[in-house]
Amino acid sequence: MQSSNVVTSSIPFLDLVAPHIELEQELTNVFRRALVTAGFIGGPMVEEFEGAFATFCSTSHSVAVSSGTDALRFALMACGVETGDVIVTVPHTFIATTEAISQAGALPEFVDIDENTYNMSVEMLRRYLEEQCSRDQAGRLISMRSGRPVTAVVPVHLYGQMADMDPILRLASKYGLKVIEDACQAHGAEYFSKKLNRWMKAGSMGQAAAFSFYPGKNLGACGEAGAVTTNDAALADKVRVLRDHGQVKKYYHNVEGYNGRLDAIQAGILHAKLAHLAKWNAQRRERAAEYNQLLADNESITLPSEPSWSSAVYHLYVIRTLDREGLMSHLKEAGIGTGIHYPIPLHLQSAYTALNYAPGDFPVAECASAEIVSLPMFPQLTAEQQATVAEEIRAFTSKTFYKPAESEHVSIASAQLSA
């Protein structure tokens, strides 16, 4: 394909074939083990993976379930979220975050994101709790918007970068709220907690956390899968009951539950891949550093920012630019895959008209969703491929963007002052 006089070969947004070919033997052995034992649902392969994943996340427990959405729903329910509760989260996330809240019987309410990290803004959470909630006679925190009790917060560690957990946990504790981390994009991400004076793994900081192992995730199954992590043994037990039709032992149902179990083949595959996750995450960080360097002098785009307290695992590498559609179609012409995560913030999705939010309610999320574009990012991405991506971005931005000279900045500024 021809673009900007440079011949490029196709650079996919994500390459899911390479890692599976690399591990073909290990993964095939998992199938064999399941076939000869016929242990298809639950059993030792699931338990072995649960133990290994808990160790990876530095938590005492991990309970494997059938998807990230179920992980979040079960985590919320096991934390004691009840029908009619309000759960606070962000509008800039995949819809599964709010679907899980609704499926747990609760109502999502939003606070805006931080414009640098794209994660929950601590200031907006503080303002929501201080200015948009009151106490009822029983002392419960009530949302003025819906009149319902606010009981939990779901920070999302989007794109593989953790939300600013210390202040979120502090606010949650002050207002008596549970914290359930949506870590579905953040396997292995770390946060430096000033409070604890150490790095903490994603999924180890709230009462519970949800992970997705959808195939394209940093740790992905060859199908659907998810897990809840927690340091609370009783909570882990509740999730085990919820995922298995509410039964504490076979045919003894304490509550109605769900069919949310993980099958053994997926658990075995995840366990085999988990051994490579730290290496893959390190490669993603190297790829991100390479993009940062290649794109550093391009004034038309904003690069991802990583605060000093964050060690992101770059599930996605997201830049920002004013002519996002133009850039994407230029890259498409050049055979380079891109994505938008996500084009419409949740409060403006048709699915949530009943929540009565309006354009302008969350300006940071709205502005981000119009300008963000995700570049190819996967561990096997090569330096040559990245150089081509950067070259094509430069070719597009240098031809389309008007950059005022230094002297013009002054005259534009003074014209604005006098206007």
Ligand X SMILES: Cc1ncc(COP(=O)(O)O)c(C=O)c1O
Structural tokens at position 360: 């302008």
Q: Return the number of the residue (93 or 310) whose C-beta is nearest ligand X.
A: 93
Stretch that binds ligand X, among 83-91, 92-100, 126-134, 233-241 (CB under 6 A): 92-100
Extract the tokens encoding 257: 């539950």
94 or 317: whose CB is closer to ligand X? Answer: 94
Our CB check for ligand X shows the closer of 67 and 338 to be 67
CA 257-153-365 angle, 5° bins: 115
Contact call for residue 118 and ligand X (CB under 6 A):
no
Helix (H, G, I), strand (E, B) or coil at 62: strand
Part in contact with ligand X (CB under 6 A); list of ranges 90-98, 246-254, 260-268, 287-295: 90-98
Q: Which is nearer to ligand X, 76 or 295 (CB)?
A: 76
* Spatial distance between the Cα atoms of 350 and 353, rounded to a whole number of angstroms: 5
Candidates 188, 226, 257, 260; binder of ligand X (CB under 6 A) is 226
- The per-residue b/e assignment along 346-359, b for 16 or more CB within 10 angstroms, e otherwise, is bbbeeebeebebee
Distance CA 214, CA 212 (A): 6
Amino acid at 392: E
Residue number of the CB closest to ligand X reads: 68
Is residue 379 a contact point for ligand X (CB under 6 A)? no
Nearer to ligand X, 96 or 133 (CB): 96
Q: Looking at beta carbons only, is 73 or 240 nearer to ligand X?
A: 73
- Lay out the sheet containing 317-321: strands in order across: 301-302, 317-321, 372-375
Beta bridge partners of 201: 190
301: helix, strand or coil: strand
49 part of the interface to ligand X, by CB under 6 A:
no
Q: Verify binding: residue 91, ligand X, rule CB under 6 A.
A: no
Site residue total, ligand X (CB under 6 A): 14
Strands 301-302 and 107-110, sheet pairing: unpaired
Asked whether the beta carbons of 157 and 202 are under 8 A apart, the reply is yes
Residue list 265-324, contact with ligand X (CB under 6 A) = none
Contacts of residue 201, Cβ cutoff 8 Å, sequence gap at least 6: 56, 57, 58, 59, 188, 189, 190
Pairing mode of beta strands 133-135, 301-302: unpaired
Specify the residue, 99 or 290, whose C-beta has the smaller distance to ligand X.
99
Strands (E), 257-370: 301-302, 310-311, 317-321
- Site membership for ligand X, residue 182 (CB under 6 A): yes
* Binding of ligand X by 219 (CB under 6 A): no
Could you identify the residue written with the tokens 């939990």? Answer: 152
Instruction: Build a one-symbol-per-residue string for 94-113: x at contacts with ligand X by CB under 6 A, - elsewhere.
Output: x-xx----------------
Least distance between ligand X and beta carbon 406 (Å): 42
Name the segment binding ligand X (CB under 6 A); options: 142-150, 181-189, 304-312, 363-371. 181-189
67 binds ligand X (CB under 6 A): yes
Question: Binders of ligand X among 142-171, rule CB under 6 A?
Answer: 156
Beta bridge partners of 193: 198
The rounded Cα 199 to chain-centroid distance in angstroms is 19
Residue of 93, 207, 230, 302 that binds ligand X (CB under 6 A): 93
- Options 3, 59, 69, 143; binder of ligand X; rule CB under 6 A: 69
User: Residues 369, 342: contact at Cβ < 8 Å?
Assistant: yes
Q: Could you tell me if 315 and 218 are in contact, meaning their C-beta atoms sit under 8 angstroms apart?
A: yes
Our finding on whether 185 is near ligand X (CB under 6 A) is yes
Query: Which residue in the set 121, 212, 300, 388 belongs to the binding site for ligand X (CB under 6 A)?
Result: 212
Q: Which of 184, 264, 355, 377 binds ligand X (CB under 6 A)?
A: 184
SS3 per-residue string spanning 301-360 = EECCCCCCCEECCCCCEEEEECCHHHHHHHHHHCCECCECCCCCCHHHCHHHHHHCCCCC
d(CA 235, CA 93) in angstroms, rounded, equals 25
Contact with ligand X (CB under 6 A): which of 27, 34, 59, 68?
68
Nearer to ligand X, 107 or 334 (CB): 107
**Interacting residues with ligand X between 328 and 357 (CB under 6 A):** none
Interaction site with ligand X (CB under 6 A): 67-69, 93-94, 96-97, 156, 182, 184-185, 212, 214, 226
